Structure 1
Amino acid sequence: MTNSADTVADPGVDPVDPVTVLRLLREGLAAAEATIIRFQALRDAQLGAAQRVAEEIAARDAGAGAVRGESVDLATRSVAAELAGVLHMSDRVVQARMARAADLETRFPEVTRAFGEARINAAHVRVIQDAGARLDETVRAEFEQIAVDACAGETPHRAKRIVERVAERLAPRSLTERHREVQEQRRVWREDLGDGQKALGVIHSAAIVDGIYDRLTQQARAVSVANAQAAKDDASLKSESLGDPGDARTMDQLRADLCADTLLTGTASGHDTSAGLLSAIQARVEVTVSVLTLLTPDTAGAGRKKSPAGSGTSTGSGTAFGVRTEQPAELAGGQPIDTHTARTLAGGATAWERVLTHPVTGAILAVDHYRPNADLRRLLHARDSRCRFPTCGLPPAAQDLDHTIDAAHGGPTEEGNLGGLCRRHHILKHQTAWKVTQRGAGILEWTSPTGATYIDRPPSPVTFTVEDPDPPPEPDPETPGF
């Protein structure tokens, strides 16, 4: 028997084998997804063309005496309204998409090409376009190339961290400068939700908001644990315990109540005792920061001085060899924070964990701390700053440390046999046919039930590398000894 390709079918393959069916579904879905992405790219190209048509109409009207700015806006509205009926969208949404599509074609030609070839999808395009919006023409081509390579074969969520880091390195203004401006917009607001409820919102520094949420979470967890313990204790002891056996509040409800307690009374109660246990809980904010960021003088707002010709450095600008030495610190999970906040947090730290990285790849090599028995966990926490299953991006707080080769089967408890996995993928690894193999340097190779392989590399932390401005000469191949 032959198939449509005129080849003999393998008689040993069961056509109803679920693994075979899954493999065919995977290949078919990959082909369908690539086709969809190409059509999405085609749609964006047409929206970009519609924007140019609107500009041509505006130019014609301007020749008749109309004001150029008003003419462009009116023409764009008219064209967007024409297309809105076809797309079944609001004309405002269509107008915004037209502008974005035209901007993509004009300023990001390499991204447009990769999109049309289905090497990246629409979500990748949004990540790159948003991150690159503040870059000027002199560095945009370099940014595009790196960003497209980072997104190819990776999820948008996981690629976003790398793309934003590259954009930050090439940005004309540092994160610290921009942060100072946007901090002027910090505020608290309330919003009516109906049914007797309102929402309270706050905009503040990322480190502060993370600290607030972490402290509330620790307090809520303390109450939840105490409630569970109180339910097990003898009735005579319940009056002296922190918990309430009848308290059935969820973690979200506890966080909300404790937040209200703190804001209204200055102290979180949540069934607290006279010892003030919940009030004593301090927030935990984890920051990864380059040592050069801590050492670089804060020159935001200062005039830039040109270095002597040929010196290779720029004094007063926080740069060396054309690269900004003041790189943003990052909260656990990858969100960048300004230098001032990072230095403040670092200055108040009672202990330091030194994360040693490779100067080129940024791979975690070692972690130093005063308590050796916790070194391994600290090293893995630093190396695996997200779940190590392909496509997952959950932060370290949600991870379990998994033995690649089970300890029960002789697997050692060491860096080369451990990886951080979220609970969902930890269970998936142990309870399904998914397999994982350590390939060294923290690289994990995952194999799916159908035999497909996926390589997951540990995300590199904040790093700073420079090239030697005066490299040694190439050795003469004819010189003895070479």
Structure 2
Amino acid sequence: MSNRYDTGDAASPRKPRANRGRRTEADSLRAAELKSALADYGVAYTARSAGDAHMIRALSAAYAIASDRAQAALAAPGQVRGTEDQVFAWHFTTVLGEFAFASHDSDKALRNRAYDAHLLVTKFASWVEALEAGRVDMRHIMALLKYGRMLEDRHLADYGAQVLEYAKGHTASKTAPFAERIASTIAADDFETTHQQARVQRYVRITHDGFGMAYLNAYLPSEVAAPIGQLLDKRAREQRVLEAAAAEDHKVSVRAARAAGTDAPAEFVADTRTTAQVRADILAETLLCATPGASNVKASVSIVVPALTLLQGRVDGSAPAMLDGVTPMSFAEARQFAGEATAFDRVLTDPVTGHVLCVDTYLPNRALRRFLQIRDRTCRFPGCARPAAVSEVDHTTPYSEGGKTSSDNLAYLCRGHHVQKHEKPWTVTNLGGGTLLWQSPLGQIVVSEPEPVGPRFRPKGDAGVRRAFAPSPTDEGATAQFGVRENSASVSAAGKWAAESSIPPHSDDPPPF
């Protein structure tokens, strides 16, 4: 049986090509010192994580001691007055006061940390061990706790195990949405209830900051906030295009006036605002000039929902509706979007890996972009969480060097990492199926795999799926030092449908690389 890299000739399998960006002399400057600094950083990182684990165990012990003291006091008739909660609070505050003196902190500031420490030690002991070993850090821990608090005790073991396996190979920014997705899948009713409770808390708040400036904070449902951000980005880009066109028209007018011997037009005044400033100005103008309930704004969002869930409803264990393939959202809102949708994309996923196989749409170019956007979800540089919808399609093997415009040679990269891939000596190998092997200039290796879209089923006794080909590092001296990690392979999946309210327009122009 041929593997995924066969060219059709069984005698000559195609080896994936490693593609390196441009290297200059400056990229090798003080390389030995950089490696030494990286090693020191790794040692300090592990030591800090181990210290955090010791503090968690100490605060958990403080909680347990306060609890035991409270129980002992309540068991002695006539010695204390107050409810069980009050007696515990008194002992807890006293115990934490000792810790506050030792750490120049306040007992109030330590209280929530001690509650979390008790939860970690009693319900997520494997996480504390991983923290002590430097496999995760406190940012991963906070992502775990944020979405674990809404779960009942019966779900915590399953939730903690799945999120820990993922967190060991991913950054905290990637772990947070994964934890939310797992929590919303394991406990569908809890998630939907929590979502509705959060939804009623939406607000707009103005905080004056001095110097004639103020913060405008809005707490909104994700499916409302996402198109607002998309609209601001779109109009800011349009503003830049208009500015460039006006500058070019002015140059043409100046040349024409000189040729005719007439007075030149007035000096062109360029728009010096940054993109962030343009977005802020567009937001203010839109709010001040718009009439509520009479908006002519059109923006689009992509919502991925399993077909059976859309028809039958959500139950524990069923995948949630996903906004832009990244953020779980209310199923009730997703079903409403589906009812109003004018177009659907059917997404078929691999029954083994859970990765996207195809997306049924009409136009070929548009179909390929939609396929990549649903498969990749975010920028594919390891650890980057910028959505694919606002990133760029990159040819792993450049188009100018014979790279094909196909799914096995394309991946989404944000603008910054797109430029870095080509302009700095990073090496990228597309292993097929959306899997990218990245090698840093110092030789660190990370394998980036797309997140499975379909539900996964792991057969008993199956140790996982191994790839038919795993290329070796292309640089001599590449070592498994600090920072080198390989993401876990995903196992199994079934088909899904993606329902969206409208489909965003895409340019059919070829990518620049």
Instruction: Indicate the residue corresponding to 1:396 in structure 2.
Output: 388
**1:464 and 2:455 correspond:** yes
Structure 2 equivalent of residue 411 of structure 1:
403
Tell me, what secondary structure is at the counterpart of 2:204? strand
Aligned residue in 1 for 2:56: 44
Matches within 5 A, 1:160-309: 160-171=176-187, 173-234=189-250, 247-266=271-290, 280-297=296-313
Contact map agreement 2:347 2:359 (CA 8 A) in 1: yes
Aligned residue pairs, count: 413
How far off its partner does 1:418 sit? 1.4
SS in 2 for 1:439: strand
SS in 1 for 2:200: helix
Aligned-residue offset at 1:19:
4.4
Identity within the alignment, %? 32
SS at 1:405 equivalent? coil
Q: Does 1:439 align with 2:431?
A: yes
Assess if the C-alpha contact under 8 Å between 1:158 and 1:393 holds in 2: yes
Q: Distance in 2 between matches of 1:217 and 1:433?
A: 30
Q: In structure 2, do the counterparts of structure 1 residues 452 and 465 end up closer, same or farther at CA, with 3 Å as the change threshold?
A: closer
Q: Deviations over 1:43-100 (max 9, x none)?
A: 1111111222222333344432232322222222222222223222233211221121
CA distance in 2: counterparts of 1:218 and 1:17, whole angstroms: 40
In the superposition, relative to structure 1, how do residues 263 and 115 fare at CA in structure 2: closer, same or farther (>3 Å)? same
Quick one: which amino acid aligns to residue 341 of structure 2? A
In structure 2, the CA distance between the partners of 1:188 and 1:447, relative to structure 1 (3 Å rule), is closer
1:321-340 map, 5 Å: 324-325=317-318, 327-332=319-324, 334-340=326-332
Native 8 Å contact 1:333 1:394 kept in 2: no
Match of 1:35 in 2: 47
Q: Which residue of 2 aligns with 1:424?
A: 416
Distance 1:432 1:396 in 2: 22
Q: 2:431 and 2:276 mapped to 1: Cα distance?
A: 40
Q: Offset of 1:151 from its aligned partner?
A: 0.8
| CA distance in 2: counterparts of 1:219 and 1:452, whole angstroms | 39
Equivalent pair of 1:437/1:446 in contact (CA under 8 Å): yes
Q: Deviations over 1:329-371 (max 9, x none)?
A: 2222611111122122233333222222123422011112111
Deviation at 1:150, TM superposition (A): 0.8
1: CA distance, partners of 2:81 / 2:384: 53
| Equivalent position amino acid for 1:372 in 2 | P
Report the equivalent of 1:480.
none
Aligned equivalents of 1:17, 1:370: Cα separation in 2: 51
Deviation string 1:293-341 (CA, Å, 9 cap, x unpaired) is: 32124xxxxxxxxxxxxxxxxxxxx44xxx544x322222611111122
Residues 357-396 of structure 1 aligned to structure 2 (within 5 Å): 357-396=349-388
Letter aligned with residue 88 of structure 1: H
Indicate conservation of the 8 Å contact 1:230/1:245, yes or no: no
Out of 36, 59, 70, the position equivalent to 2:71 is 59
Superposed displacement of residue 235, structure 1: 9.5
* Structure 1 residues 429 and 255: alpha-carbon distance in aligned structure 2, compared to 1, 3 A threshold: closer
Distance 1:209 1:126 in 2: 23
Specify the SS of the correspondent of 2:310: helix
Cα distance in 1, alignment partners of residues 103 and 272 from structure 2: 48
Distance 1:19 1:72, change over 3 A: same
Match of 2:343, SS? Answer: coil
Q: 2: distance between equivalents of 1:52 and 1:205?
A: 39
Report the alpha carbon displacement of residue 192 of structure 1 after superposing the two structures with TM.
2.8
Q: Structure 1 residues 228 and 289, CA, compared in 2 at 3 Å: closer, same or farther?
A: same
Q: CA deviation at 1:221?
A: 3.0
Higher relative contact order (CA 8 A, sep 6+): 2
Between 439-448 and 132-141, the greater mean CA deviation after superposition? 132-141
Answer whether contact 1:389 1:456 (CA < 8 A) is retained: yes
Cα distance in 1 between the residues matched to 2:369 and 2:51: 46
Q: Closer, same or farther in 2 for the Cα pair 1:172/1:286, shift >3 Å?
A: closer
* Aligned residues of 2:394 and 2:412 also touching (Cα < 8 A): yes
Unaligned runs of 5+ residues in structure 2 are 1-27, 254-267, 460-513
Measure the CA separation in 1 of the matches of 2:135 and 2:229.
Answer: 38
Relative to the length of structure 1, the TM-score reads 0.77
**Post-superposition shift, 1:129?**
2.3
Q: Give 1:433's aligned amino acid.
A: P
Distance 2:433 2:243 in 1: 43
Aligned partner of residue 449 in structure 1, secondary structure? coil
Q: Displacement of 1:144 after TM fit?
A: 2.0
Specify whether residues 373 and 28 from structure 1 end up closer, same or farther in structure 2 by C-alpha distance, changes over 3 A only: same
CA separation in 1, counterparts of 2:198 and 2:345? 31
Quote the RMSD (CA, aligned, Å). Answer: 2.9
1:219, 1:281 within 8 Å by CA — same for their partners in 2?
no
Matched residue, 1:93: 109
